[in-house]
Amino acid sequence: MDFRVLLVENNSIILDQSVNAINKAPGFTLAAKYKDSAGALGQGKVFRPNLILLDIDSEENIQVIPKLVREYPHATILCLCTQWDAELTARVMRAGAAGCLVKPFSAPELVDAVKALESSGQNVTSEVITFFSPKGKSGQTTFVANTALRLAAKEQKNVAIIDANLQFGDMAIFFNLAPTTTIVEACRDVKNLSPVSLTSYFVPATAQVSVLCGTRKPEDAEKIIPKNFVELIGMVRSRFPYVLIDLSVGFSEFTVSAMEASDLTFLVASEDSVFENRHLKKALYVFEGWGDTLQDKLKLVYNRVQNTSNAYKQQLEESIGYPITAFLPNEYDLVSRAADEGRMASDIRPESKLSTAINQLLRDLHGKHQIRWEKS
């Protein structure tokens, strides 16, 4: 299901008509409905909507748009008005809405309005995935880069990679890029950027994968303010359907706020030593603060696994006390060859065990998150 709709409509008759239209529109589900915006601000969050339909016939609801943008950074706001008005549309768009739809609307009109937003370059749904490792050297960057290529190839959609390994980011080396701007300048300038001007900070790695490269020197990490980075994530997601973030090792204000701003986190571990599992357990203890959403938002992935059998997986799960979402096999020769040739393993051999495991992982997440792969 692609769109979880939160509907705010003051007029009871139109509220009912809108509910009907949403229920009939393929790919749309009504997540919650409110007769006033106060309810939406108070309780709507638990429904994790990604599309808000907001009646703007009242001034009060127009005033609430900036608050909705802050409370629902992952949702697109589409305003509902009785009469089309260019000036009003411009005003709500400045406040953070994506556009307006005249009401009452039918199911095909809703579908068309959302399609029009997408074709104008606005993302109506996007998925931000952070990649995190408590200890490092888990093959995380390799995993991010190959996932980006697999996603772009399968979905034919644009993918952004943000190299947020603040001190020792090496995504530029992985893709052999020579950036003129990096995450440092993007975070510094974010207040004055628009989603369109932001894209010039990215470097194309392939036709569909763009990279916002990491810092040039470790000390530049100090210049990045976590709050600005979270704002940057919000802007990047409005331009790219997929945003993959390669985070620094370990917990910090920066990594935690980035994970909280994302839809999904891959906790990446390698099975190199028994110590690794001890660190992993400590990390999982920290994540327990995420409460009920933990298993939905945090997926544990083991990389460089020699024994990929189910029995071994079960044994590890029991010892760690957390479900393992995927085993990525050890493919040393292929990954080394890729590094030597300045290419990606999944590019050299799309049928390799590593690529197949990443494909499978993304397919398994289909439907649970916004990853839209059809089963093949």
Ligand X SMILES: Nc1ncnc2c1ncn2[C@@H]1O[C@H](COP(=O)(O)OP(=O)(O)OP(=O)(O)O)[C@@H](O)[C@H]1O
**Minimum distance, C-beta of residue 335 to ligand X, in the bound complex (Å):** 4
Closest CA to 51 of 78, 24, 26: 78
CA 136: distance to chain centroid? 22
Q: Using the rule CB under 6 A, is 134 a contact of ligand X?
A: no
Q: Using the rule CB under 6 A, is 142 a contact of ligand X?
A: yes
E strand or H helix that includes residue 163: strand 159-164
Q: Residue 372 to residues 27, 131, 164, 362: CA-CA distances in angstroms?
A: 11, 19, 25, 9
Q: Which residue is nearest to ligand X (CB)?
A: 139
DSSP assigned state of 159: E
Q: Using the rule CB under 6 A, is 140 a contact of ligand X?
A: yes
Q: Please report, as ranges, the residues that interact with Mg ion according to CB under 5 A.
A: 141
**Minimum distance, C-beta of residue 147 to ligand X, in the bound complex (Å):** 12
Contacting residue, 335, 344, 361, 371, with ligand X by CB under 6 A = 335
Q: Using the rule CB under 6 A, is 331 a contact of ligand X?
A: yes
Binding part of the chain for ligand X, among 17-25, 55-63, 205-213, 324-332 by CB under 6 A, reads 324-332
- For 214: left if phi > 0, alpha if psi spans -120 to 50, otherwise beta; the answer is beta
Q: Using the rule CB under 6 A, is 241 a contact of ligand X?
A: no
Contacting residue, 66, 108, 121, 136, with ligand X by CB under 6 A = 136
- Is residue 184 a contact partner of residue 223, using CB atoms and an 8 Å limit? yes
Q: Residue 318 to residues 36, 88, 106: CA-CA distances in angstroms?
A: 48, 57, 51
Contacting residue, 37, 123, 125, 133, with ligand X by CB under 6 A = 133
Q: Using the rule CB under 6 A, is 138 a contact of ligand X?
A: yes
Whole-angstrom distance, CA of residue 290 vs CA of residue 157: 30
Whole-angstrom distance, CA of residue 15 vs CA of residue 191: 37
Q: Using the rule CB under 6 A, is 215 a contact of ligand X?
A: no
What track of x and - describes contact with ligand X for positions 294 through 313 (by CB under 6 A)?
Answer: ---------xx---------
Contacted entry of Mg ion, ligand X, none for residue 237, CB cut-off 5 to 8 Å set by kind: none
Instruction: Spell out the residues 6+ positions from residue 136 whose beta carbon is closer than 8 angstroms to its own.
Output: 249, 250
Q: Using the rule CB under 6 A, is 50 a contact of ligand X?
A: no
Find residue 324's DSSP bridge partners: 300
Q: Using the rule CB under 6 A, is 165 a contact of ligand X?
A: yes
**Minimum distance, C-beta of residue 144 to Mg ion, in the bound complex (Å):** 8
Whole-angstrom distance, CA of residue 25 vs CA of residue 367: 17
**Minimum distance, C-beta of residue 12 to ligand X, in the bound complex (Å):** 55
Contacted entry of Mg ion, ligand X, none for residue 275, CB cut-off 5 to 8 Å set by kind: none
Contacting residue, 130, 330, 346, 370, with ligand X by CB under 6 A = 330
Q: Residue 45 to residues 6, 109, 238, 263, 305: CA-CA distances in angstroms?
A: 9, 26, 19, 14, 38
**Minimum distance, C-beta of residue 309 to ligand X, in the bound complex (Å):** 17
Q: Using the rule CB under 6 A, is 354 a contact of ligand X?
A: yes
Q: Using the rule CB under 6 A, is 366 a contact of ligand X?
A: no
DSSP 3-state of 327: strand
Nearer to ligand X, 151 or 338 (CB): 338
Chain residues that interact with ligand X, rule: CB under 6 A: 133, 136-142, 165, 249, 303-304, 328, 330-332, 335-336, 339, 354
